[in-house]
Amino acid sequence: MRIVGIAGSPRKGGNSTTLLETALEAAQEQGHTTKCLVARRLKVQPCIACEGCKRGPKCVVDDEMHDVYAAIAHADILVVATPIYYYAASGWLKAVVDRTYGLLDRESKPRIAPGKRLYVITTQEESDPADGAVVVRQLERAFAWLGMEPAGSMIATDLDEAQAVLERPDLLQAARDLLTSGPSG
């Protein structure tokens, strides 16, 4: 399997990125090919709502999002990870997610093969997993337009400091199991 991860944290070594990298490492150990894209390092402009992607074969904004499109197209599994900021996905990830609109043709049909699996990882300071569940659902709905099937999610709570996840072996193990143990919720 080819697995692509998109890290939505602005922090190097942030909690959500650490969990994503842990999940990808476990998948790699099982023989899967993995690639991790870091949203804050990508030169991706926000969607300009010009509908150029509907008039032509691709998004008209010429930036690194075209590399993301190619990575998603060639993946069997997509894993997106984001910290919860003000009860939403990070702006870094949101820009990438919004631009996946360019993978839909003029009839809103996906330009990529359907049936790819989607996993979502969220991290947050607050204890209530419902906050992360809202973001998981939003991302699942967005990627459903591309024919992706939700396959699992991980909502990590009570992480109030950068790299706090390193002190949580339960969360690190859950990340290792996310892609290798089949669908979860």
Element holding 80 (H helix, E strand): strand 77-83
Burial of 116 (0-12, 13-18, 19+ CB in 10 A): buried
Alpha-carbon distances of 125 from 77, 83, 158, rounded to whole Å: 27, 9, 5
Question: If you classify domain 2-178 with CATH, what class do you get?
Answer: alpha beta
- The residue ranges of every structural domain in the chain are 2-178
Q: Please give the single-letter amino acid code of residue 3.
A: I
pLDDT in 10s for each residue of the chain, 185 residues: 999 999 999 998 899 999 999 999 999 999 999 999 999 999 999 999 999 999 888 899 999 999 999 999 999 999 999 999 999 999 999 999 999 999 999 999 999 999 999 999 999 999 999 999 999 999 999 999 999 999 999 999 999 998 999 999 999 999 999 998 754 43
